Chains A and B, each alone.
Chain A
């Protein structure tokens, strides 16, 4: 390895530099800014949680991380290499290390292929072994993720959602990837089996030394398994820090609102925290608000928020936030609270 490459590896197995992804809007006149400037790095072996509402650009981010989408501006470095600079053959070889598991476990499986045919497809593309050995390895992998060998010759429509998601996991694992992007992987599953699948992800991470990028709208999912959490809003990062810190002591008013929206299994008079209701919908990514893009729904909004774009600042060690008024103590107080106190 060259010195330059080594430095890059230190920087993280995934590095996102000033990422912008723009789409033409449906009528072609406007530009949808799905991702409008993001910078972060994912370290080897960690679980990097990404949370946000629908429309915050998190699925676009996931697809871009595994090169299914090309950045309009900026770069995504895979272990120091920009996959956009590789030739098509080298690129196909390279991208095997960066895999994605999708939200809809059913749509990710070809309905006309048996389970085993789907699972061994990556091996077939790699031209590894003969058909019999590939099949053996595929079945081992199916058993590893908790499926019986009988499932191998079934078709996707004969399995449940949870089983199908296990098939998707097994299929990706046959490639022995370095990074797996998990895009809302448990959102489509019954609550009763979410825990099982999440535990499976945790076990596999230890066993195979995986790095995860866990994308979800469900903060309870991400807080349990993440090492660090990034909070996205309308194509930008609002907050990024160690998972415990972000969940226990958030810095951004948006994060605080997201956390308070999580259901707590207590009767309302026993709850300590007041629930913060965000008003309205997430604004259109065609014309995001000026200044801070959360200001239209922020309970702590100030005149300055409409004028200046908040800087991306490190307020606590390793804990960054994009809010003018956040301090190491936490997010700014609500305007309403301030009013009632005075």
Chain B
């Protein structure tokens, strides 16, 4: 390798292209990504592709089985299940992304500061994290929702706040390791500022477990949304979400058990896709795991 000399040099590593090529070679990651993209497209196109108004009631179709008119049947108020599933997807995806975005925005900076600065800052932050983690997440989310006000957005902000300490603890633990790496010492010797060192060296090397955790949290947030909506703290009737649909179908389980499948399977596959995608991303983003 050392004896070759060339003068032409590619200006920038074509990371994106390499990333895509790697991704295509990973079947599970590709399927998960396709599934999630499809879900996103369906959500965006919801007003045009859903066969019925998701809140329109038709008493004659109450608990209708699957048919040509109602592909997935209808709920106890005669609302078309397919239409509600499509619109519910919008609410569920929005809810899970909102919660996780808030968890990342709070948890990652807090964790990095605690881990890098150490001392009393770390002690204080760690105590707060511990006290947050000592509550059951959903109970805490309900309490925070009570303070912020009922509704899907407030509910998911609460879930995000409740998830943040998990990420903070994870990032703090990684940061404690990374800050003692020699490349951090080297950057300090070059006169790099603390902000630069955190951004260029600590964050990229501490963030990896977060990527996987984020996908797990997306799945957990999806379920938290379902729980909060079930309890009436999340999405408000008559708007649909997968969790609210599941709660509704659960009440009529003995009459129309098939009504539980569409929202239940939607939650299951979406959560699974998030997790699988997380695994693939972890491998794709880590240069040391790349095959040569």
Give the B-binding residues of A (Cβ under 8 A): 63, 66-68, 92-93, 95-96, 98-100, 102, 104, 107-114, 118, 121-122, 125-126, 132, 135, 139, 143, 146-153, 155, 157-159, 163, 168, 171, 175
**CA–CA, A99 and B182, complex, Å:** 13
- CB pair A163–B1 under 8 Å, yes or no, is yes
**CA–CA, A102 and B7, complex, Å:** 30
- CB pair A148–B3 under 8 Å, yes or no, is yes
- CB pair A68–B5 under 8 Å, yes or no, is no
Task: Take A107-B182, A110-B205, A114-B13 as given contacts and tell me if A148 and B5 are in contact as well, using a CB distance cutoff of 8 Å.
Answer: yes
**CA–CA, A112 and B193, complex, Å:** 19
- CB pair B204–A112 under 8 Å, yes or no, is yes
Task: Take A102-B182, A150-B1, A153-B13 as given contacts and tell me if A122 and B190 are in contact as well, using a CB distance cutoff of 8 Å.
Answer: yes
Query: In this complex, what residue of B is CB-closest to A67?
Result: B189
Task: Take A108-B182, A149-B7, A153-B10 as given contacts and tell me if A99 and B2 are in contact as well, using a CB distance cutoff of 8 Å.
Answer: no
Task: Take A68-B189, A110-B205 as given contacts and tell me if A150 and B181 are in contact as well, using a CB distance cutoff of 8 Å.
Answer: no
Chain A contacts for B204, CB-based, 8 A: 110, 112
Chain A contacts for B6, CB-based, 8 A: 148-150
Task: Take A143-B5, A146-B2, A157-B288 as given contacts and tell me if A110 and B183 are in contact as well, using a CB distance cutoff of 8 Å.
Answer: yes
**CA–CA, A108 and B181, complex, Å:** 7
Cβ 8 A contact of A110, one of B4, B10, B13, B201: B201
**CA–CA, A325 and B185, complex, Å:** 42
Task: Take A112-B204, A112-B287 as given contacts and tell me if A148 and B183 are in contact as well, using a CB distance cutoff of 8 Å.
Answer: no
B238 within 8 A of A: no
Interface positions, chain B 1-58, Cβ under 8 Å from A, are: 1-7, 9-11, 13
**CA–CA, A284 and B2, complex, Å:** 44
Query: In this complex, what residue of A is CB-closest to B14?
Result: A153
- CB pair B9–A158 under 8 Å, yes or no, is no
Query: In this complex, what residue of B is CB-closest to A181?
Result: B189
Chain A contacts for B200, CB-based, 8 A: 110, 113, 121
Task: Take A149-B7, A153-B10 as given contacts and tell me if A109 and B288 are in contact as well, using a CB distance cutoff of 8 Å.
Answer: no
Give the A-binding residues of B (Cβ under 8 A): 1-7, 9-11, 13, 181-183, 185-193, 196, 200-201, 204-205, 287-288, 290, 292
Chain A contacts for B186, CB-based, 8 A: 100, 102, 108, 168, 171
Top 7 nearest A-B pairs by Cβ distance? A92-B191, A107-B182, A108-B182, A122-B190, A110-B183, A155-B287, A112-B204
B192 shortest CB reach to chain A, Å:
5
- CB pair A109–B1 under 8 Å, yes or no, is no
- CB pair A175–B287 under 8 Å, yes or no, is no
Give 22 pairs: A residue, B residue, CB < 8 Å, sorted on A: A66-B189, A100-B186, A102-B186, A108-B182, A110-B181, A110-B201, A112-B205, A121-B187, A121-B190, A121-B192, A122-B191, A125-B187, A125-B196, A132-B11, A135-B9, A139-B9, A147-B2, A148-B2, A148-B4, A148-B5, A149-B5, A155-B287
A44 shortest CB reach to chain B, Å:
20
- CB pair A96–B287 under 8 Å, yes or no, is no
Chain A contacts for B10, CB-based, 8 A: 153
**Inter-chain residue pair count (beta carbon < 8 A):** 98
Chain B contacts for A100, CB-based, 8 A: 185-186, 189
Query: In this complex, what residue of B is CB-closest to A92?
Result: B191
A28 shortest CB reach to chain B, Å:
15
Chain B contacts for A152, CB-based, 8 A: 9
Chain B contacts for A122, CB-based, 8 A: 190-191
- CB pair B1–A108 under 8 Å, yes or no, is no
**CA–CA, A152 and B183, complex, Å:** 18
B25 shortest CB reach to chain A, Å:
19
A160 shortest CB reach to chain B, Å:
8
**CA–CA, A131 and B178, complex, Å:** 27
Chain B contacts for A63, CB-based, 8 A: 185
**CA–CA, A114 and B290, complex, Å:** 14
**CA–CA, A159 and B292, complex, Å:** 12
Cβ 8 A contact of A107, one of B183, B189, B290: B183
B210 shortest CB reach to chain A, Å:
14
**CA–CA, A175 and B6, complex, Å:** 25
Not counting A125-B190, A148-B6, a sample of 4 additional A-B residue pairs whose C-beta atoms are within 8 angstroms of each other reads: A68-B185, A102-B182, A113-B200, A150-B6
Chain B contacts for A163, CB-based, 8 A: 1-2
**CA–CA, A126 and B9, complex, Å:** 24
Cβ 8 A contact of B183, one of A108, A132, A151, A157: A108
B179 shortest CB reach to chain A, Å:
12
**CA–CA, A26 and B13, complex, Å:** 44
Query: In this complex, what residue of B is CB-closest to A168?
Result: B186
Chain B contacts for A153, CB-based, 8 A: 9-10, 13
Chain B contacts for A93, CB-based, 8 A: 191
Chain B contacts for A147, CB-based, 8 A: 2
Interface-centre pick from B181, B183, B192 (highest chain A CB count, 10 A): B183
- CB pair A111–B287 under 8 Å, yes or no, is yes
- CB pair A175–B190 under 8 Å, yes or no, is yes
Cβ 8 A contact of A157, one of B13, B182, B191, B287: B287
A263 shortest CB reach to chain B, Å:
29
Chain A contacts for B189, CB-based, 8 A: 66-68, 95-96, 98-100
Chain A contacts for B201, CB-based, 8 A: 110
